């Protein structure tokens, strides 16, 4: 099963590591998949063997992006992500996650790499998290594509 719970993430990660797999961790909303998402996820997967995605909850997305978001529920977003051959695991985050909860999950996962897009506003936080566990922080180049928010504005 590609969708795993927060509670089983440590066990799943340990199993992957026991097979000498290099774990890459990313996070995000992935509301309406577009070419930018696909590029980011494909490039992130190339940095290791197993790609884990921390998928934001509907409550967190509403808080971050407004009351009309997400367009797709977390369960729909997770299901779509699991169809991508380069995605290994999706962890559905519960509720509004804070930095200490992210830190706890990152310690349980112990990724070898934390990937994010160049210019991500959370770069400083991801740097601290990667240093906390000795992971590499790697920025993936963005591709010129509209974001989900821009797609909604232009087509809404």
For 87-129, the pLDDT digits (tens) are: 999 999 998 878 899 999 999 999 999 999 999 999 999 999 9
Q: Tally the residues of the chain.
A: 156
Higher pLDDT, 147 or 68: 68
- N-terminal to C-terminal alpha carbon distance within the chain: 35
Kindly give the residue spans of alpha helices, DSSP state H, lying in the chain. Answer: 9-18, 35-45, 58-65, 74-82, 99-109, 123-133, 148-155
Name 24's bridge partners: 51, 113
Specify whether the CB–CB gap between 50 and 23 falls below 8 A.
Answer: yes
Mean pLDDT within 23-35: 95
pLDDT of residue 16: 98
Q: Above 90 in pLDDT, residue 143?
A: no
Q: Which tokens in the block code for residue 73?
A: 């529920």
SS3 content of the chain, % helix, strand, coil (to 5): 45, 20, 35
pLDDT of residue 97: 79
Mean pLDDT within 63-68: 92
Distance of alpha carbon 86 from the chain centroid: 13
Q: What is the mean pLDDT of the chain?
A: 92
pLDDT of residue 96: 80
Per DSSP, 7 falls in state G
The whole-angstrom separation of Cα 137 and Cα 147 is 23
Instruction: Domains for the chain: give ranges and CATH numbers.
Output: 3-151 (3.40.50.620)
Q: Above 90 in pLDDT, residue 136?
A: yes
Q: Which tokens in the block code for residue 154?
A: 């232009």
Name 113's bridge partners: 24, 136
For 38-61, the pLDDT digits (tens) are: 999 999 999 999 999 999 999 999
**Number of C-beta neighbours around residue 154 at 10 A:** 8
């Amino acid at each position: 099963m590609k969708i795993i719970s927060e509670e089983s993430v440590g066990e799943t990660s340990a199993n992957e590591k026991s097979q000498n797999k290099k774990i890459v961790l990313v996070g995000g909303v992935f509301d309406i998949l577009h070419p930018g998402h696909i590029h980011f996820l494909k490039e992130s997967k190339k940095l290791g063997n197993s790609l884990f995605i921390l998928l934001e909850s509907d409550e967190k997305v509403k808080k971050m992006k407004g009351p009309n978001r997400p367009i797709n529920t977390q369960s729909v977003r997770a299901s779509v992500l699991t169809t991508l051959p380069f995605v290994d695991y999706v962890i559905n985050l519960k509720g509004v996650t804070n930095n200490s909860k992210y830190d706890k999950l990152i310690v349980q996962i112990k990724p070898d790499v934390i990937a994010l897009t160049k210019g991500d506003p959370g770069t400083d936080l991801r740097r601290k998290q990667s240093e906390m566990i000795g992971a590499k922080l790697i920025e993936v180049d963005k591709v010129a594509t509209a974001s989900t928010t821009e797609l909604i504005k232009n087509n809404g």
